[in-house]
Chain A
């Protein structure tokens, strides 16, 4: 299976990466090489084999639903690129 430039651009958009033209070409070539390597998995018969999402031995972990101290709002906002009136600020999205 080979990934073409248009598909690379489509994946980049899904991943919110604004690739340059050179990056599209280079990453496309890398992807094809890596996909060529991982294609060896298709040789394995996995019919009926369950998926393994993680190697943890536990199920859901529960704790009491109680108030606990959290980071003060202003300390969270201190590290934000821009904040206004106690909120994270982003470019306007609704006129």
Chain B
């Protein structure tokens, strides 16, 4: 196995034993990027010089006996995370060339941990999409089949891990943007509880839903990345000050004695039978590991997508008001101030972003607020209550498919926004309810594309969730499969 294929915990052992330096490991990863990035197109920016400087600093930390779990580990960040001195575009023309003068918290925490930044990954513009096709930068390819999309919106971060161009990465998940590309690229994608990881410096899309989380090769690594990123932050008032558990130590708890609910509403017509079969196999595997499985009902599931596209677009229309050509980014200046705003936004935003701003503005506008936005917020309560009812009845975890199909072809859904929105149908409820969710590889479809199994946990109970997902991986080897590149 090549060093760029190691898990983070394997690399940690070898770095600590002195079998390899961070500089050597980073050189292996950068050479891998040189070799396969032309085919995958996962990165907006590769930060090779920065990575080697980070690695030299990491080697000094290790030599000084100050290594932390991520010291010397090459990682990537989604390009909607603010990085001081490194261009941050959100894959949008409106931020093209923007080099932030400060670090967001995720970037600062990775620096403090001694992690090595190898690059910024492609996304659907402002994280709005499910295929990474809505990028103004480039089209990212699924490493398992270059004609297929990697999913989205964190498609670059998922593809970079799947193609061994970093040992782990971070994405953001508003309606499934970590878990769905994780499933479609055959890697672990983990969205923690709303408020578990600081979002200071995560460019806002829908603030009541957005959450940062990791992509990794296995659940053990996801626990490592969560531990290194979670915890209170005075710069983000929505970030919880609950103590951060020892997620890695918690992995050994397994899934024995846990009750796992299987919501009947998630096994519906329209789901690829291969996906349903792989997830059913996964459920049997969890049973074999000692879990008790029972059918549950989450009766408002069918309304989640409609609810989400009103809540998320309303918040987006407000959040994206800041792109006005005044303080940063693109400016078009045809005349007076109003025409500057209008022309800048017209030239800077892509079609999907305009579509969502329009829908959100409409849902919030006088005369429609009660019928759309307020209604959606009430339905959101019902969706949260569905989960609370299940948890109150003794369910510890919920298991579902992550996405209704494996990776779809590039261009297959991009002409039909509604069809694209429905690819998030199984991941959206988790965001609306603020719950943690993880996707783990659980099989392959008829096109040999990876399938993901989603586990959803109770709020701030990441330990139980990770332990169950880890137990699943102890009995399966889907997470060890690699695409041929």
Q: Which of A11, A35, A61, A88 is within 8 Å of B327, CB to CB?
A: A88
Is there a chain B Cβ closer than 8 Å to A49's Cβ? yes
Most buried by B among A19, A57, A71, A76: A57
Tell me which residues across on chain A come within 8 A of B380, comparing CB atoms: 51-52
Is there a chain A Cβ closer than 8 Å to B432's Cβ? yes
Tell me which residues across on chain A come within 8 A of B384, comparing CB atoms: 52, 55
Tell me which residues across on chain B come within 8 A of A52, comparing CB atoms: 377-378, 380-381, 384, 432
Whether B326 contacts A19 by the Cβ 8 Å rule is no
Per-position binary interface string of chain B over residues 395-413, scored 1 when its CB falls under 8 Å from any chain A CB and 0 otherwise: 0000000000000000000
Is there a chain A Cβ closer than 8 Å to B382's Cβ? yes
CA–CA, A22 and B384, complex, Å: 40
Interface residue total, chain A, C-beta cutoff 8 A: 51
Q: Which of A42, A50, A93 is within 8 Å of B371, CB to CB?
A: A42
Tell me which residues across on chain A come within 8 A of B98, comparing CB atoms: 79
Is there a chain A Cβ closer than 8 Å to B361's Cβ? yes
Most buried by B among A16, A49, A50, A57: A16
Whether A93 contacts B306 by the Cβ 8 Å rule is no
Is there a chain B Cβ closer than 8 Å to A41's Cβ? yes
**3 nearest A-B residue pairs (beta carbon):** A55-B434, A51-B377, A18-B342
Which residues of B are interface residues toward A (Cβ below 8 A)?
98-102, 194-195, 207-208, 234, 237-238, 240-241, 300, 302-303, 305-307, 309-310, 317, 321, 324-331, 333, 335-343, 345-346, 349, 351, 354-355, 357-359, 361-362, 365, 371-372, 374-382, 384, 417-418, 421, 431-435, 459-460
Which residues of A are interface residues toward B (Cβ below 8 A)?
3, 8, 11-12, 14-20, 23, 26-27, 30-31, 33-35, 37-38, 40-42, 44, 46, 49-58, 60-61, 63, 71, 75-76, 78-82, 88, 90-91, 93
Q: Would you list 25 pairs from A and B whose C-beta atoms are within 8 A, ordered by A residue?
A: A11-B358, A15-B357, A16-B321, A19-B346, A27-B358, A34-B421, A38-B376, A41-B306, A42-B371, A50-B381, A51-B374, A54-B194, A54-B207, A55-B208, A55-B434, A56-B238, A56-B434, A57-B459, A76-B327, A79-B101, A80-B328, A81-B329, A82-B331, A88-B327, A90-B326
